[in-house]
């Protein structure tokens, strides 16, 4: 019996933690995941200790069940290769700073015109709209500003935007209250 996502192709352009872990879970369920890294530096998680035989354990854990390749998305040739891959993909996962993919000509509108059934998952620590959208950040930044880390949140965001026929966008919310402290009233 095949796995539930057998036959699904995922392009993973993300790096560090949230995106790679998301794509690894899709790979665990049988998806064919292609990890696309920058030609210059690759995924920053490759530099995280501990190391075993020169490879980062964190990187390997979040990038299991994937094939890998490098592309220079700043170069026209690299963008053309990605567009060819998108035509045969079902899902694309990315976590670039807001506007980066659009700057490359690889935003949702451009890629969905090549493949209308593409599910485009865009992950951001600060959302794709709102006052902090221009900030770079990863999962740890998002956690540090979440309602579970403070008594009163100062803002809300859309932590992930998934576009396509199978997705809906929902604001990030939390029903978890901070722990009570001695003398506090509710």
Q: What is the pLDDT of residue 124?
A: 83
63 near 89, Cβ under 8 Å?
no
Sign of the CA dihedral running 47, 50, 55, 58: negative
| Residue spans of alpha helices (H) in 35-177 | 57-62, 76-87, 100-103, 108-114, 139-144
Q: What is the pLDDT of residue 152?
A: 47
| Residue spans of alpha helices (H) in the chain | 18-28, 57-62, 76-87, 100-103, 108-114, 139-144
Distance, CA of 175 to CA of 186 (rounded, Å): 15
Strands 32-38 and 51-52: unpaired
Q: What is the pLDDT of residue 159?
A: 47
- The average confidence (pLDDT) of the chain is 82
Tell me if the pTM is above 0.85.
Answer: no
In order of their start, the domains of the chain are 9-163 (3.40.50.10540)
**Mean pLDDT in order along the chain per 10 residues (186 residues):** 92 94 97 96 92 93 96 97 98 94 97 98 82 71 61 48 50 44 51
- Chain-centre distance for alpha carbon 154: 24
């Amino acid at each position: 019996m095949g796995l539930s996502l057998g036959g699904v192709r995922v392009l993973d352009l993300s790096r560090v933690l949230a995106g790679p872990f998301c794509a690894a879970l899709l790979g665990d369920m049988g998806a064919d995941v292609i990890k696309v890294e920058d030609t210059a530096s690759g995924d920053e998680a490759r530099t995280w200790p501990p190391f075993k035989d020169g490879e980062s354990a964190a990187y390997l854990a979040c990038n299991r069940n994937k094939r890998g390749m490098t592309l220079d998305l700043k170069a026209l040739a690299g963008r053309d290769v990605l567009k060819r891959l998108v035509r045969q993909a079902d899902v694309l996962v990315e976590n670039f700073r807001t506007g980066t993919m659009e700057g490359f000509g690889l935003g949702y509108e451009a890629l969905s015109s090549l493949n209308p059934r593409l599910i485009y998952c865009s992950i951001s620590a600060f959302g794709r709209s709102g006052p902090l959208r221009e900030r770079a950040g990863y999962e740890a930044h998002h956690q540090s500003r979440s309602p579970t880390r403070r008594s009163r949140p100062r803002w809300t965001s859309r932590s992930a935007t998934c576009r396509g026929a199978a997705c809906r966008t929902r604001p990030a919310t939390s029903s978890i209250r901070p722990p009570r402290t001695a003398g506090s009233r509710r």
